[in-house]
Structure 1
Amino acid sequence: MLNVSQATEAPVLSFSTERVATTRQLDAWKQVVVDLHGQMCFEGATTNGYRGTLAARRSDAIQLVEFNAAPTASSRSKKQAGSDAICRYELVLVTSGEFELQHCGHRIRLQRGDGALIDMSRPHQMLYGQPLSATLIACDRTLLDAKLPGVTHACGVGFPRDSATLAALLGYADTVRANLDRWQAHEFQCVMAHLVDLAALMLDGQNDLGGAYPATQAALLHRLKQFIHAHLSDDDLTLPHVAAANGISTRYMQKIFQVAGTSPREYLLEARLLLARTLLRQRPLRHSVSSIAYMAGFGSASYFSAAYKRRFGLAARDDAKERCQINSKS
């Protein structure tokens, strides 16, 4: 079903539903997509078959997928996002057609030349009533989080169409895609790293700034986020402490985060939960859930458990058990 090209050190995975019996085409498409992107649900007729092709290549923590798909609807529920081991961002760039994306409280329509960022640890839904072609750039969330702390707040928001950086990103991604099976492994790793850097540059103009956010406030917001991430494991870290350490009042700090579409309290909680989830999945057998909670800066294990289940759709203990099962099978 999957064809692996051995022309380079890092193989390209290619798939076409035309190689599958008509009655099994949609199911086969679902399986390939799930293997690449995590658990999802699909809607579409199976009696008349399903047309879809894709090519994918991965380098370390970065993956590029090019796909052409017939009309359908796909969704990733909160439970699905919480139960598998997918913890990354996916940047979708539309090359032809259009689709509707519902994600992180936003509902947008994307057309050719548009792009959006998806947090795969959160639920989302994609609906396209016509054939769609797109390029997906997926990277482990640690890569973008390190470059742009708080980038998750840009998820589900369409990128400005007049962005010169978006135009550069689209052109560069098109070049990489067109030569997917020609890059040597070290070349592909390098160009994919450049793609992520371009994406970070574009998101830096999109995330938090909104086109009207003063540069001084943007710099202050970035510094505040960096300080929070540097002290996440401190259970005595308080918002007044964060504000005082950066020479501003708590009230002004609230205003800075409010313009970015969140609050200091929400941002701190989200950062700690993501750190806890990373620790939990990296070390499912080495530490108890309570220990993980304290390592992520939570002073109360019960509060952590409730917040974790509310955020990811399953209990932290169950998440650890599922990760152990995945590790034992791999």
Structure 2
Amino acid sequence: MKSTISTRGVDVAGRSRHWHETIARAYFPLDLTFHRPEAFDGELTSWDLGGVSLSRLTSDALMYRRLPKHFREPGPEEFLVTLPTKSELRFAQGGKEVRANPGAFFIERSHEPYEFSHSDPADLWVMKLSKEMLGGRIRAPDRFCSLQFDATNGANGLFVDMVHLIPARYDQMTEETRSIVGRQLVDLLALAIQSDERVLTSGNSTVRTAHLARIESFVRRHIDDPDLGPEEVAGGCGISVRYLHELLRDTNTTLGQWIRDTRLQAAHEDLKNPADRRAIGEIAYARGFTDQAQFSRAFRARFGVTPKEARGRG
């Protein structure tokens, strides 16, 4: 579904409340500070892509604050990926600050306080997706919220190109196609992040971070192998099993947990994909599970619903 909300036609006295409600519906609740509340203008157009939303937001100068009170209520953790096309944006989260101009993008985490502002009229694209969806492709995605990514080269540029192309093709897509495109957009985002040199050179140890990136990539490529384990991963990444476990201790997760969670997330997306007509058992087997009952128990523990219920909600 496509929708557009604007301040046009809204009484000046009611624009602040109107924009607060618009932002909360499109993303999540935020506190807003207007540079000129008596003359504020803004417009937001959103496109639904299954489990992903894409929006284009134009507005006058504004500051957004995500505060602890906003995520005390139970709710899914989400990420926003913001791409400015006009004016500099300032983003601060986790004690780090990003100043992004057109030609860059950055990631915001919903469940940690942040400030986001622009002192001039802005035009920007925003992609919203769940932590589960991004975390199924990249381990601990919140570690990338302090980085700014180049939006002009390689996989990064391809991701941005796809963002810009979707609205023009949206009306000709079926709901099924939109959902597939949404997942492909997340795949491109993950590829862009993983291929960015600054990801490999961020953190305390370039070598350790690079090894972790290779481990993640190897697991993703071989997730359908039911025998995937420490020996296979270590051998595929050119490191010892002992060093593999030492690296993973830094992430507060085990290889088995990472493999299981990645498999479950992939199966969850398969089940919610209306184009995937395979039986539940076939999907479980294709994602590396050898026991359907065990898969069903693990799936319910992770998502709170059975595989059959998840397919029904797709």
Global fold match (TM > 0.5): yes
Higher relative contact order (CA 8 A, sep 6+): 1
Question: Of residues 216, 219, 241 in structure 2, which corresponds to 1:222?
Answer: 216
Over residues 90-115 of structure 1, what are the superposed CA-to-partner deviations in whole Å (9 max), with x where a residue is unaligned?
Answer: 11111222210001322010111210
Counterparts of 1:170 and 1:176 in 2: how far apart (Å)? 10
Question: Which residue pairs with 1:247 in the alignment?
Answer: 242
Contact 1:104 1:124 in 2 (8 A): yes
Equivalent position of 2:117 in the other structure: 127
How many residue pairs get aligned? The number is 237
SS at match of 1:171: helix
C-alpha separation between the residues in 2 aligned to 1:249 and 1:168? 32
What is the alpha-carbon distance in structure 1 between the residues aligned to residue 45 and residue 151 of structure 2? Answer: 26
C-alpha separation in 2, matches of 1:84 and 1:20: 32
Mean CA deviation greater in 207-216 or 25-34: 207-216
Counterparts of 2:104 and 2:163, CA distance in 1: 13
Q: How does 1:176-325 map to 2 (within 5 A)?
A: 176-206=166-196, 208-210=199-201, 213=206, 217-219=211-213, 222=216, 246-248=241-243, 253=246, 256=247, 264=249, 267-268=252-253
**Equivalent-residue separation in structure 2 for 1:110 and 1:120 (angstroms):** 19
- Segments of 4+ in structure 1 off by > 6 A? 223-226
| Contact 1:78–1:123 (CA under 8 A) maintained in structure 2 | yes
TM-score by structure 2 length? 0.66
Any conservation in 1 of the 2:131–2:141 contact (CA below 8 Å)?
Answer: no
Q: Is the 8 A contact 2:63 2:117 kept in 1?
A: yes
**Matched-pair contact (CA < 8 Å) for 2:6–2:42:** yes
The TM-score normalised by the length of structure 1 is 0.63
Per-residue CA deviation, residues 8-60 of structure 1 (Å, 9 max, x unaligned), is: xxx21111101211221122011110112111100015652311001112233
In structure 1, list runs of 5 or more residues that go unmatched.
Answer: 1-10, 227-244, 258-263, 276-294, 297-330
* RMSD between superposed Cα atoms in Å: 3.3
Q: Secondary structure at the match of 2:97?
A: strand
Q: Which runs of 5+ in 2 are unaligned?
A: 221-239, 262-300, 303-314
Instruction: Determine helix, strand or coil for the equivalent of 1:247.
Output: helix
Q: Calculate percent identity across the aligned residue pairs.
A: 13
Task: Identify the range of structure 1 (212-221 vs 123-132) with the bigger mean alpha-carbon deviation.
Answer: 212-221
**Aligned 8 A contact 1:94 1:111 in 2:** yes
2:30 is aligned, of 36, 40, 52, to 40
